[in-house]
């Protein structure tokens, strides 16, 4: 494959080519913070496998997601640290997802991330992402290196942030966003890290003191609120290995050997928490109803997706996957 000369997406190049300017930002609208329940279903692809290449391929085959043909895609992984999966997105998952998007006609793919506590640059280097970008011909944007003007401020009424929050402009203005998350618990107040919490990596590091200061109060609600700043068109969750306790970097491991995909963040996370319950997890997971988990409950209030567990429709390709989906539906129904 042709080598890519440009590895890092220059922020000035992005702003120069951007369609949406600062002057238009006040026109951005928000869903009401106490949204009405939706009646629509969310289709979730589920495939039991221990092969990441096969997992990504199959969930994308099963899903009817918006076309990427001719689109510039922003891809957000879980690179909070460079710890082995599920501490971070596995490079095999990322690679296969990029290949699948390219085969479907994506005109350009950019991997965007802000890590922490480690520097984003060191995490990308330790994960071998710069070399991977050369091999697979994708760009990289390090949100930690963005200038102040490259952040979009959101302060919707009723949010729990003191002065609102910021989301990286390259994501806000992207024409197509894909996110890929791990399946794990989070011992520092988040309870779990799935697709909703992935949005924390779209904010500047300076906000982390405020977020972590709300560990026992509004932290999980604040995590959900960041999601008002963007909307992924596709989400792929790698659940081959999980943390059922501890996390996000290190924890108690169990194998779920499953991939799931969808476009509804609430549905993906609800299915993910159901998997953690099926595996046997910590008290914060096992002793709380899935739609009472604060990240999910707040996301429902914000109108970010489905509002009830029975609105999840699993799509499976084989008997093994179908039987596992039935287990998860039973867990979701009990909650």
Task: Flag the least confident range among 46-50, 109-113, 213-217, 312-316.
Answer: 213-217
pLDDT band at 167 (very low <50, low <70, confident <90, very high): very high
- Which pLDDT value is given to residue 20? 36
CATH 3.40.50.11440 is held by the domain 46-334: yes
Q: 253 has which bridge partners?
A: 243
Contacts of 8 (CB under 8 A, 6+ apart): 139, 140, 141, 142
- Is residue 285 packed enough to be buried (19+ CB in 10 Å), middle (13-18) or exposed (0-12)? buried
pLDDT band at 22 (very low <50, low <70, confident <90, very high): very low
- Which pLDDT value is given to residue 40? 86
Question: Are the C-beta atoms of 240 and 258 separated by less than 8 Å?
Answer: yes
Question: Are the C-beta atoms of 321 and 48 separated by less than 8 Å?
Answer: yes
Question: Are the C-beta atoms of 90 and 127 separated by less than 8 Å?
Answer: no
pLDDT of 201 higher than 60: yes
Longest CA–CA span in the chain (Å) reads 53
Mean pLDDT on 179-185: 98
User: What share of the chain has pLDDT > 90, as a percent?
Assistant: 85
pLDDT of 169 higher than 50: yes
- Which pLDDT value is given to residue 213? 86
Peptide bond between residue 107 and the one before it cis (omega within 30 degrees of 0): no
**C-alpha triplet 196, 115, 237: angle, nearest 5°:** 40
How many helices (H) and strands (E) would you count in the chain?
12, 12
Closest by CA position to 234, among listed 77, 82, 52, 127: 77
Instruction: Look up tokens 């989301």; give the residue.
Output: 167
- Taking only the tens place, the pLDDT of each residue in 28-50 is 445 444 455 556 899 999 999 99
Residue 270: both structure tokens together: 């609800």
Alpha-carbon distances, residue 199 vs 162, 179, 189 (angstroms): 18, 9, 15
CA–CA distance, 65 with 51 (Å, rounded to integer) = 22
């Amino acid at each position: 494959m042709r080598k890519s000369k440009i590895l890092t997406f220059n922020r000035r190049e992005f702003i120069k080519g951007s369609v949406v300017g600062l002057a238009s930002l006040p026109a951005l609208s928000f869903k009401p913070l106490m949204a009405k329940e939706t009646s629509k279903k969310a289709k979730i692809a589920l495939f039991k496998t221990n092969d990441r290449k096969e997992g990504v391929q199959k969930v994308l085959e099963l899903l009817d997601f918006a076309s990427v043909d001719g689109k510039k895609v922003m891809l957000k992984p879980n690179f909070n640290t460079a710890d082995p999966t599920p501490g971070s997105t596995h490079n095999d998952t990322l690679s296969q997802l990029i290949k699948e998007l390219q085969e479907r006609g994506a005109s350009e793919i950019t991997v965007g991330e802000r890590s922490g506590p480690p520097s984003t640059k060191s995490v990308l280097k330790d994960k071998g992402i710069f070399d991977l970008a050369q091999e697979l011909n994708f760009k990289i944007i390090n949100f930690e290196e963005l200038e102040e003007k490259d952040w979009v401020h959101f302060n919707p009424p009723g949010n729990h942030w003191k002065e609102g929050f910021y989301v990286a402009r390259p994501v806000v203005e992207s024409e197509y966003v894909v996110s890929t998350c791990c399946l794990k618990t989070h011992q520092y107040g988040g309870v779990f890290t799935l697709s909703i919490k992935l949005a924390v990596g779209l904010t500047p590091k300076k906000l982390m003191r405020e977020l972590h200061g709300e560990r026992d109060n509004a932290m999980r609600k604040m995590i959900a609120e960041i999601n008002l700043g963007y909307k992924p068109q596709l989400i792929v969750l790698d659940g081959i290995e999980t943390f059922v306790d501890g996390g996000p970097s290190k924890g108690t491991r169990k194998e779920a050997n499953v991939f799931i995909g969808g476009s509804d963040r609430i549905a993906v996370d609800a299915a993910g928490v159901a998997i953690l319950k099926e595996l046997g997890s910590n008290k914060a997971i096992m002793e709380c109803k899935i739609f009472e988990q604060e990240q999910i409950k707040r996301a429902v209030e914000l109108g970010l997706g489905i509002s009830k567990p029975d609105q999840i429709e699993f799509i499976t390709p084989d008997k093994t996957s179908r039987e596992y989906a039935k287990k998860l539906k039973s867990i979701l129904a009990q909650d």
